[in-house]
């Protein structure tokens, strides 16, 4: 019975609403943005005034939702991905990512060695040293030309020694956002969509609901975010009215539009 009730709740929450053309934070309608990828209505995604949106990492699905394309990498789903060498041998697992203040993924923190997660060491490698691919955002693969023996020679990663302006992905996901006029409403950053080179292009934003149930999620251009290290919340240069008019964001065209914990999500 519990599962039937939850299923009914999810079904009720997963119906996306049609969105009208919203205003961006420059108080104008995003009717046209130079360089916008084919297949995306600019009115569905909140754009910065200077946007060129060069990477088609998302697209608008027929059911009026913004969907992650095969070219987009989800920060959330990259965490935990197994890394292999060129011969398919195990090297480690992506434990974390290091973002710079301008939204570039600089390093990947790998968990190496140990047994079932115990006594594993954390080491840092350049993000671009990993070749990441996969047909599904939930099942990406990561490969490196380094070996397990190479990883064991690297020094242990110390998060306390991160340079100023750099931040771990695990500190960003679920971070608080501060829209221009939140009015006390909770807004959270749930994911950052990056391209294969590690450049941040979009941010998944969640608002409303109670403890995740009934929350709504949309996607905004990454450039609408302020400093990632801002405290107590990351500035979001958009108004709540804009977020509420935007199309919902999902990971797959058949996925849920809610943001209930990942065991139920998408």
Residue 13 lies in a domain: no
pLDDT at 261: 42
Which CATH number fits the domain that encloses residue 125?
Answer: 2.30.30.240
Residue 1 lies in a domain: no
34-66 confidence digits (pLDDT tens): 444 455 555 556 655 555 554 568 877 777 788
Give the residue from 133, 167, 201 where a domain finishes. Answer: 167
**Would you give the distance in Å from CA 55 to the centre of its chain?**
15
pLDDT grade, residue 168 (50/70/90)?
A: very high
pLDDT grade, residue 93 (50/70/90)?
A: very high
Tokens found for residue 159: 């998060």
Sign for the pseudo-dihedral over CA of 102, 30, 177, 253: negative
Domain check: are 27 and 108 in the same one?
Answer: no
Domain check: are 178 and 50 in the same one?
Answer: yes
Could you tell me where the beta strands, DSSP code E, fall in the chain? 58-61, 65-68, 73-74, 82-84, 90-99, 105-112, 121-126, 131-133, 141-143, 167-168, 175-178, 187-194, 200-207, 216-221, 234-235, 249-250
Count how many domains the chain has.
2
Domain check: are 69 and 199 in the same one?
Answer: yes
Among 22-31, 62-71, 185-194, 217-226, the range scoring the smallest mean pLDDT is 22-31
Residues with Cβ < 8 Å from 226, sequence gap 6 or more? 234, 235, 236, 237
Domain check: are 83 and 151 in the same one?
Answer: yes
Domain check: are 91 and 63 in the same one?
Answer: no
* Pairwise pLDDT comparison (184 vs 86), residue with the higher score: 86
CA nearest 94: which of 80, 107, 74? 80
Domain check: are 118 and 108 in the same one?
Answer: yes
Residue 42 lies in a domain: yes
Q: Exposed, middle or buried, 106 (CB in 10 Å: 0-12/13-18/19+)?
A: middle
Residue 8 lies in a domain: no
Check pLDDT > 60 for residue 100. Answer: yes
Check pLDDT > 80 for residue 174. Answer: yes
Give the residue from 124, 140, 167 where a domain finishes. Answer: 167
Domain check: are 216 and 175 in the same one?
Answer: yes
Residue 86 lies in a domain: yes
241-250 confidence digits (pLDDT tens): 888 888 888 8
Any idea how long the chain is? Answer: 266
Domain check: are 222 and 145 in the same one?
Answer: no
131-166 confidence digits (pLDDT tens): 987 656 777 889 999 999 999 999 999 999 999 999
Work out the percent of the chain whose per-residue pLDDT is above 90. 40
Check pLDDT > 70 for residue 7. Answer: no
Give the residue from 139, 167, 195 where a domain finishes. Answer: 167
Residue 87 lies in a domain: yes
Mean pLDDT of 90-119: 87
pLDDT at 60: 77
Domain check: are 67 and 151 in the same one?
Answer: no
| Mean pLDDT, the chain, integer | 76
Mean pLDDT of 251-262: 57
Q: Which domain holds residue 105?
A: 74-167
pLDDT at 59: 79
Domain check: are 84 and 159 in the same one?
Answer: yes
Domain check: are 69 and 174 in the same one?
Answer: yes
Residue 263 lies in a domain: no
Residue 109 lies in a domain: yes
Q: Give the integer Cα–Cα distance in Å for 103 and 222.
A: 8
């Amino acid at each position: 019975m519990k599962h039937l009730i939850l299923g009914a709740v999810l079904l009720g929450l997963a119906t996306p609403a049609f969105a009208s053309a919203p205003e961006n934070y420059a108080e104008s309608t995003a009717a046209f943005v130079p360089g916008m990828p084919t297949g995306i209505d600019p009115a569905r995604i909140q754009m910065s005034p200077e946007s060129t949106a060069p990477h088609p990492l998302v697209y608008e699905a027929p059911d009026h939702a913004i969907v992650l394309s095969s070219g987009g990498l989800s920060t959330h789903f990259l965490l935990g991905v197994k890394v292999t060498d060129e011969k398919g041998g195990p090297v480690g697992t992506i434990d974390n990512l290091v973002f710079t203040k301008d939204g570039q993924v600089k390093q990947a923190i790998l968990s190496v060695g140990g047994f079932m997660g115990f006594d594993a060491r954390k080491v840092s490698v350049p993000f671009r040293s990993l070749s990441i691919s996969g047909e599904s955002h939930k099942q990406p693969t990561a490969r490196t030309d380094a070996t397990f023996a190479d990883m064991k020679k690297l020094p242990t990663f110390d998060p306390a020694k991160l340079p100023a302006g750099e931040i771990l992905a695990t500190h960003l996901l679920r971070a608080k956002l501060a829209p221009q006029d939140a009015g006390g409403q909770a807004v959270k950053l749930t994911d950052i969509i990056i391209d294969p080179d590690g450049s941040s292009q979009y941010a998944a934003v969640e608002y409303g609901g109670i403890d995740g149930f009934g929350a709504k999620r949309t996607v905004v251009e990454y450039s609408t975010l302020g400093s990632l290290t801002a405290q107590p919340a990351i500035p979001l240069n958009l108004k709540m009215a804009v977020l509420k008019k935007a199309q919902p964001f999902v990971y797959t065209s058949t996925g849920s539009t809610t943001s209930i914990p990942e065991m139920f999500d998408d």
